[in-house]
């Protein structure tokens, strides 16, 4: 059990039969009345975000997530096969379970898989990945003074806005949390 007074960003709790992560929290002590904790919670499985208010000191069950390293092997249709790097067991995840992680997933890449109660909740990508640009328009000479961007298709199928100097075949670093270009690798 965890008290609502102990909420911090990243803490996982069980609420209404689902696992939620605290995204934001604010302890409020009004001049009149009892203190409370205002939170923004994200459902670990579905990604739904809700705002919920708890009484100060309210006890909630804490969700213990287990993280294991896994290697992405291959995709076949809507199923994607991974291998646990400790036990060498293979398991498959659906397109829905992976969500936006598919945009940055390359074969043989290692990532963290979240488990809760023996079931798989989802995957955690590294904060940044290096991907090759497979298609983009050539930059126009002399157009770099404006700091403009252009769309570029990456080897995984993701489309990212990149600076004009990036060309086909370049390897770039992309932030997996925001989907933004970071730098050339």
Domain ranges for the chain, please list them: 2-60, 66-124, 128-184
Q: Is the pLDDT of residue 114 over 90?
A: no
Task: Looking at the structure, give the CATH architecture of the domain made up of residues 128-184.
Answer: Beta Barrel (2.40)
Share of the chain above pLDDT 90, in %: 34
Is 47 in contact with 101 (CB distance < 8 Å)? no
Q: Is the pLDDT of residue 141 over 70?
A: no
CA torsion sign, 44 to 45 to 47 to 48?
negative
Closest CA to 22 of 34, 5, 30, 35: 5
Q: What is the pLDDT of residue 154?
A: 93
CA torsion sign, 94 to 98 to 100 to 103?
negative
Q: What is the pLDDT of residue 48?
A: 84
Q: What is the pLDDT of residue 142?
A: 61
Distance CA 87, CA 73 (A): 15
Q: What is the pLDDT of residues 120-130, one digit of tens each?
A: 877 888 888 99
Q: Say which residue the tokens 């990532």 belong to.
A: 111
Is 83 in contact with 90 (CB distance < 8 Å)? yes
Answer CATH for 2-60 from 2.30.30.30, 1.10.10.10, 3.40.50.9100, 3.90.930.60: 2.30.30.30
Give me the CATH code for the 66-124 domain, please: 2.40.50.140
Q: Is the pLDDT of residue 143 over 70?
A: no
Q: What is the pLDDT of residue 51?
A: 93
Q: Is the pLDDT of residue 105 over 80?
A: yes
Q: Is the pLDDT of residue 168 over 70?
A: yes
Q: What is the pLDDT of residues 25-83, one digit of tens each?
A: 999 998 888 999 999 998 887 778 899 999 999 999 998 888 899 999 998 988 999 99
154: helix, strand or coil: strand
Q: Is the pLDDT of residue 98 over 90?
A: no
128-184 shares the fold of 66-124 = yes
Q: Which residues are within 8 A (CB) of 65 and not within 5 positions of it... i.e. 6 or more apart?
A: 12, 19, 44, 114, 115, 116, 121
């Amino acid at each position: 059990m965890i008290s609502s007074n102990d909420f911090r960003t990243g803490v996982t709790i069980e609420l209404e039969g689902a696992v939620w992560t605290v995204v934001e929290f604010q302890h409020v002590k009004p001049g009149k009345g009892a203190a409370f904790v205002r939170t923004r919670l994200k459902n670990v499985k579905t990604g739904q975000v809700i705002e919920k208010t708890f009484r100060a000191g309210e006890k909630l069950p804490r969700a213990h997530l287990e993280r294991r390293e896994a290697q992405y092997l291959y995709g076949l249709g809507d199923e994607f096969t991974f291998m646990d790097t400790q036990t060498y067991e293979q398991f498959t995840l659906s397109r829905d379970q992976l969500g936006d992680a598919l945009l940055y997933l390359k074969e043989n890449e290692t990532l963290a898989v979240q488990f809760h109660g023996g079931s798989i909740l989802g995957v955690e990508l590294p904060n940044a990945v290096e991907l090759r640009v497979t298609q983009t328009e050539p930059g126009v000479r002399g157009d770099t003074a404006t700091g403009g961007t252009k769309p570029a298709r990456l080897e995984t199928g993701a489309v990212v806005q990149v600076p004009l100097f990036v060309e086909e075949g370049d390897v770039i670093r992309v932030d997996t949390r925001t989907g933004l270009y970071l730098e050339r690798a």
